[in-house]
């Protein structure tokens, strides 16, 4: 049983380490998608700079969060979980991209699960 738990923990660690890093890097290239499209018009109106600059700042935060999952797993996983919830809430409040919001909530639960698994001491 313990090896299964360790396998799941490792799988989640790589998932929530790599995905934020890749998504963060893509904020600079927009290969996967045009990330600025996810910003509501009201949010864009509040920004003191271009939406693309905001998304690059988001990208840096996501890269750091992904690296933290690899280096300080428990803290990084809680950070990624919180970040995903905040993104989902922003999308829900804007009333758009609700499908993405639901996926982000599900991913946040996975990241939270990694954080909780990281609190468990193994006998290894």
Q: Name the one residue in this structure whose structure tokens are 């509501």.
A: 40
Over residues 79-105, the mean pLDDT reads 96
Contact 46, 85 (CB under 8 A): no
Please compute, for residue 24, the number of CA atoms within 13 A of its CA located in the half-sphere on the CB side: 20
Q: What is the pTM of this model?
A: 0.91
Contact 78, 69 (CB under 8 A): no
**Rounded-to-integer distance, Cα 84 and Cα 106, Å:** 9
Model pLDDT for residues 33-58, shown as the tens digit of each residue: 999 999 999 999 999 999 999 999 99
pLDDT at 123: 53
pLDDT at 122: 59
């Amino acid at each position: 049983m313990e090896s299964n738990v360790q396998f799941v923990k490792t799988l989640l660690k790589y998932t929530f380490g790599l995905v934020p890093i890749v998504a963060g890097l893509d904020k600079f290239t927009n290969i996967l998608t045009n990330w600025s499209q996810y910003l509501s018009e009201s949010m864009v109106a509040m920004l003191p700079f271009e939406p693309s600059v905001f998304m690059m700042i988001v990208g840096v935060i996501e890269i750091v969060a992904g690296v933290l999952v690899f280096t300080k797993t428990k803290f990084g996983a809680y950070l990624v979980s919180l970040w995903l919830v905040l993104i989902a809430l922003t999308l829900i409040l804007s009333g758009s991209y609700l499908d993405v919001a639901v996926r982000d909530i599900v991913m946040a639960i996975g990241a939270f699960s990694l954080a909780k698994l990281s609190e468990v001491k193994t006998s290894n």
